[in-house]
Amino acid sequence: MRAYWTEGIHIILSSKDKGKKHLVCRLPDWKKPKLLLHIVDEVKKRGTFEEQGFHIEAYPKTSPELIERYDVFLSKERFNALMNNTDDYCMGSFISRSMYDRISFLYCH
């Protein structure tokens, strides 16, 4: 998994990420906050703008320039749909709004 920030967080998954329950990377720009992706049976929390099966939290809960870590929760159902789509080279995608901006997931071989 890798991620970057440009008009929101973009998370790029590869075949190496299949079957994992936790993935970690750093956003390469600015202050390099850590991003943790948790694949869970069910996403129990949901923010105002967030799609079903997705949730994001930031720590500390303060202004964006002070955020050190993002915890992203994705349901197994969403994750498997993303990772098992066979349409073309960049196989699956999922986008949701959140309190922190737009979050997009992309799965490529």
- Per-residue pLDDT tens for 57-96? 999 988 777 889 999 999 999 999 888 876 665 578 889 9
What phi-psi label fits residue 81: left (phi over 0), alpha (psi between -120 and 50 degrees) or beta?
Answer: alpha
100 with 56: CB under 8 angstroms?
A: yes
> Residue 43, CB half-sphere, CA atoms under 13 Å: how many?
23
**What per-residue confidence (pLDDT) applies to 69?**
93
**pLDDT above 90: residue 25:** yes
Q: Per the structure block, which two tokens stand in for 92?
A: 């699956």
